[in-house]
A = this chain, B = another copy of it.
Amino acid sequence: MPGDLSRLSLNQATTKHWSLREAVDGCVRAGIPAIGVWRDRLAEMGAVAAARLLRDAGLHCSSLCRGGWFPAATRAERAARIDDNRRAIEEAAVLNADVLVLVCGPAPDRDIRAARMMVEEGIAAILSDAMQYGVTLGIEPLHPMFAADRSVITSLHEAIVLAERFDSPSVKVVIDAYHVWWDAGVYQLIQQCGARIAGYHVSDWITPLPDVLNGRGMMGDGVIELRSLREAVDAAGYCGFIEVEIFNETIWKMPGDAILSLMCERYLAHVAPL
């Protein structure tokens, strides 16, 4: 396939049924130069072995998914979450990942404002670790439909305001088109991010939505203006990897190599510069 795949990355969630080793081998076969790793799959071999696997394959680690999930009902549980984030930072450092993606977590009760404070406190608690290990923390706003069960950080504006509070080059934002495309201010907000963009993820919004959690579409099958958004992200100064992250039962049923082939084709057709 002709076309420049030099900025493309496979987020491991897209090939759910592949192990990390299978995903790495698949990327090599497909000519995809980077991978976004999930911690549950990383646990299959551990960070040190995984780092060696990636290095031997010539693959870059564009992100480690995920840290975050800070709010909890008790002080002890919040401390446990922070400890887990510290382990994630160490793993991200071992992998030399461009960013540790923070999915900030839901409120433990009805008090979403208190939960947002817990997110800020959680990031504050791990910042010195991130700086010490040279790991960038990327606050990823999730679509508002996940506000009750996955993230109280629900808009790019909110993520920017939160990141700016730390005034540190170690705290940035990760933009996923699926989570922010609906926002009337999205282009202005991307511009406002400037050097704070630590990652860019793509998939598509298909209608009717097949599933709240696992209903993301392949690029080109939905309504998101993926090329315009990528241009905006680039114009803001981002020149890093573009991860394809798709949670979709139908796509997961395809053979892994077929997913990667389709993903490369659609990336070139709908995301990459023409």
- Cβ–Cβ contact A223 & B148, under 8 A: yes
Does A208 count as interface, using CB distance less than 8 angstroms?
yes
28 A-B pairs whose Cβ atoms sit less than 8 Å apart in the complex: A107-B223, A109-B223, A110-B224, A110-B225, A112-B182, A112-B225, A116-B184, A143-B144, A144-B145, A144-B182, A145-B145, A145-B212, A147-B181, A148-B182, A148-B222, A148-B223, A149-B207, A149-B208, A154-B182, A154-B183, A154-B184, A155-B184, A157-B184, A157-B185, A158-B184, A208-B212, A209-B212, A212-B212
Interface residues of A (CB under 8 A from B): 106-107, 109-112, 116, 143-145, 147-149, 153-155, 157-158, 181-185, 205, 207-209, 212, 222-225
Contacts of A154 in B (CB 8 A): 182-184
- Residues of B within 8 Å of A110, CB to CB, are 223-225
| Complex: A107 Cα to B182 Cα, angstroms | 11
List of B residues within 8 angstroms of A208 by Cβ? 149, 212
A154–B156 Cα distance when bound, in Å, is: 14
Copies in the complex: 2
At the interface, is chain A mostly helix, strand, loop or mixed?
loop
- In Å, the complex CA distance between A109 and B148 comes to 30
In the complex, what residue of chain B is closest to A208 when comparing beta carbons? B149
Closest residue of chain B to A187, judged by CB? B113
A205 and B148 contact, CB distance less than 8 A? yes
A213–B110 alpha-carbon span in the complex (Å): 22
Question: Which chain B residues border A157 with CB–CB below 8 Å?
Answer: 184-185
Name the one of B144, B149, B223 contacting A144, with C-beta atoms under 8 angstroms.
B144
Residue in B closest to A222 when the chains form the complex, CB atoms: B148
Q: Which residue of B lies closest to A144 (CB)?
A: B182
Bound together, the chains give a CA A207 to CA B225 distance in angstroms of 30
Known: A212-B212, A225-B112. A155 touches B183 (CB 8 A): yes
Question: What residues of chain B lie closer than 8 Å to A116, measured between beta carbons?
Answer: 184
A144→B207 contact, CB < 8 A:
no
